[in-house]
Amino acid sequence: MDRFLFFLHMIGTLALGFYLVLPFILSGAQKLSAPAKEGTLSAVSGFNRFAQYGLVIQLLTGGYMMSQGDYTVAWMAVVVVLLLAMFALGGIMNKPLRLAAAGIRENRDVTAHTGKLRTMSLLLMVVLILMIFFMVYRHII
């Protein structure tokens, strides 16, 4: 049972891999035409939803594994805060994604929305890298 949950945990990790490449996707989207940019934002929205499901898998399987293991309270607190930060940033991204896609369809300026998206995607990438660091080096804390 433990190996299966670890397998599910790794599947959730793969779903979160999207957040590692998201800043590069959004920076490359700036050079695209309006219809291509709208399609890219639509795809990013779908992949963001997929990554959010991966976060739920991470929460459930990781919570179970933490309850079965011997981890420090400080490490558990850091990991939970980072997970919640990823949930929050991924959820907050939905509104600028919708507004930017709608603005492109209506030929409005979406610079503010895409700027927010780039900032949040960069923060998500940093938080995920921090999470991976603390997973690999869990004895630091």
Kindly indicate the confidence band of residue 73, based on its pLDDT and cuts at 50, 70 and 90: very high
Residue 61 has pLDDT above 90, yes or no: yes
Kindly indicate the confidence band of residue 139, based on its pLDDT and cuts at 50, 70 and 90: confident
Better-scored residue on pLDDT, 1 or 59: 59
38 within 8 A of 105, measured Cβ to Cβ: yes
Closest CA to 95 of 111, 116, 80: 116
Name the CA dihedral angle for 17, 19, 20, 21, rounded to a multiple of 10 degrees. 100
- pLDDT tens digits along 6-36: 999 999 999 999 999 999 999 998 888 888 9
Q: Which residues contact 67 (CB under 8 A, 6 or more apart)?
A: none
Neighbours of 52 (CB within 10 A): 17
> What's the mean pLDDT in 67-71?
89
Q: d(Cα 41, Cα 47) in Å, to the nearest integer?
A: 10
Q: d(Cα 121, Cα 24) in Å, to the nearest integer?
A: 9
Kindly indicate the confidence band of residue 78, based on its pLDDT and cuts at 50, 70 and 90: very high
Q: Which residues contact 30 (CB under 8 A, 6 or more apart)?
A: 37, 114
Residues in the chain: 141
pTM: 0.90
Q: Sketch the domain layout of the chain as residue ranges.
A: 2-136
Which range, 47-56, 63-72, 104-113, has the best average confidence (pLDDT)? 47-56
Residue 141 has pLDDT above 90, yes or no: no
DSSP designation for 69: S
In the chain, the percentage of residues whose pLDDT exceeds 70 is 100
Kindly indicate the confidence band of residue 4, based on its pLDDT and cuts at 50, 70 and 90: very high
3-state SS class at 104 = helix
Alpha-carbon distances, residue 119 vs 26, 65, 69, 126 (angstroms): 10, 32, 35, 11
